[in-house]
Amino acid sequence: MALNLVRNSKVFFTSNVDSSTGVVATTGFTAANTQEIQVLDGFTFSQNTNADVVTISEAGVSPVRGQRSFNTSLAPVDFSLSNYLRPANATTSITAEESVLWNALLSPNAISTANTVTVAATGVTAAYAFLAGEGTVTLTGTFTIAGLAVGDVVVIGGLSHATDGTVLNAAGTIKTLTTGSIAIALAAPKAAGAAITSISAPGTVKLYRSAWAPVAATYSVVSSAGSNVNQLQKFGMIFIVDSVVYVVDNCAMNQVTIDFGLDAIATAAWTGQGTSLKQSAVITAATLSSATAKNTTAPFITNKLSTVSLSLVNSIGAAAAGTTYAVALTGGSITINNNITYVTPANLGTVNIPTTYYTGTRAITGSMTAYLKTGSGVGSTGQLLADMLAAASSSVEPMAALTISVGGATNATKVVFEMPAITLSLPTVDVQQVVSTSINFTAEGSTPSATADGNVFALDEVNDISVRYYSA
């Protein structure tokens, strides 16, 4: 009898599943639909049985004291894994093993050629305009528009601009669509200095219907823009523990927590659920040999090089909109939670299994820790605390923009988290040998304005967060 050793384990993400049931196929694994994920020690997968216990309580000299237990249902499968954030330069695009995990977290559509529409290879012209809280990119040319429709959420790729390329190569919703013009309302438009001119399309312009999109040669982007759906991408997880293969069917990605602890390497902790767990004798390491292999040469990201930009979108008391605070971090984290709920029937005389699930509130929260630095000016966390305390009794929804550059804003290899509208909680003070502060925040959707203090939070907007991967 052999022992299974975790050091010999492998983890695979696959979209090679039945389109209706989400059950993982037994053959047909390719580089296009299956990706090996390098994981840290501590990954888990398990499924519990729910039971109904019948007990009796009676009087008398010889009471019946037995019990009966019935298995009533199977709970959803829970799985978790952690990996390092490792952007990789593939010459024509930036890739990462965890791109499939990001996509499953924030999109109903798989990363595939079927969900990538080439609108034109040459001859595209583009314009941008901002009006009444909406920033619109208009593409003009002769397009192949098959597979696109008004209302589709897409990510634009292939545009170029000297200063605002990341604004244009981003997610949006198709407003109008003809063979000669496509108008896309950006999820996170640029309001201030609304006129973006001299846009060019140096290569093929593409529209991606997946959340993850390699929009430029120097960066890829994933955002929450297409995540207002009841159900996300169907996928499966395959865990090879030594020589034993376990399969989780019909998975949904529920949560990720990004950790940027000061003296560590940047990591992402993922949790998800599925409807069934099984051991497979058909799927083996050999049948998965054509999957996209793990990238062992991609660079790691050191958190100590990370930088943060925290600026007020709307004024907070006497602190004017546009005020930026320098925050030198000692640690922090960001959590994106889909709050998934599974539905299980309750029929008698059978073991019920979960049938489906629904997403709940998209909750994006986080915290940052830093030393409390006194002094006036925006170069101190003490000034941020002072400004927020002064407005604490009058500022109902203090709005700021937060950019966290994990790996450093000036470095070529980094992962940048952009949250254009966050609500800040009052920083807490921790009195140790060196006094520190903890800043909690919640990212929300918002409608931008071209005027100061005109930005408003909006429940129906989907521009809570975008994540950009860069690599040298």
Predicted confidence at residue 192, as pLDDT, reads 61
Dig out the tokens for 379 from the structure. 């170069």
Tokens of 76: 């959803």
Please give the Cα distance from 183 to 439 (Å, whole number). 39
Count of beta carbons in the 10 Å neighbourhood of residue 266: 21
The pLDDT value given to residue 317: 86
Summarize pLDDT for 312-355 with one digit per residue, the tens. Answer: 999 988 889 888 887 888 889 999 999 999 999 999 999 999 99
Q: Which of 192-201, 291-300, 368-377 has the highest mean pLDDT?
A: 291-300
Q: How many whole angstroms separate alpha carbon 277 and alpha carbon 258?
A: 27
CA distances 329 to 83, 261, 301, 436, Å, are 22, 9, 15, 10
- Give the residue carrying structure tokens 């909750």: 363
Average pLDDT over residues 43-72: 92
Range from 39-48, 50-59, 332-341, 381-390 carrying the lowest mean pLDDT? 381-390
Q: Are 368 and 332 in contact (CB under 8 A)?
A: yes
Query: Which pLDDT value is given to residue 416?
Result: 97
pLDDT band for 232, please (50, 70, 90 cuts).
very high
Find the length of the chain. Answer: 472
Residue 349's Cβ-count burial label (10 Å; 0-12, 13-18, 19+) is exposed
pTM score of the predicted model: 0.94
Q: What is the pLDDT of residues 238-262, one digit of tens each?
A: 999 988 999 999 999 999 999 988 8
pLDDT at site 88: 96
Report the chain's mean pLDDT, rounded to a whole number. Answer: 91
| Residue 357 confidence (pLDDT) above 60 | yes
**92-96, 176-180, 390-394, 436-440, range with greatest mean pLDDT:** 92-96
CB atoms within 10 A of CB 374: 11
Instruction: Answer whether residue 141 shows pLDDT above 70.
Output: yes
Report whether pLDDT(116) > 80: yes
What confidence tier does 379 reach under pLDDT thresholds 50, 70, 90? low
SS3 assignment, position 453: coil
pLDDT in tens, 442-456: 999 999 988 888 899
| AA letter at 33 | N
Containing 74, the helix (H) or strand (E) segment is: strand 67-74
Alpha-carbon span 125 to 200, nearest angstrom = 7
**% of the chain surpassing 70 pLDDT:** 97
At CA 108, angle to CA 102 and CA 110, rounded to 5? 65
Are 446 and 392 in contact, with CB atoms under 8 Å apart? no
**Stronger pLDDT, 281 or 392, i.e. the higher one:** 281
Which domains are assigned to the chain?
Answer: 113-209 (2.40.30), 303-470 (2.30.110)
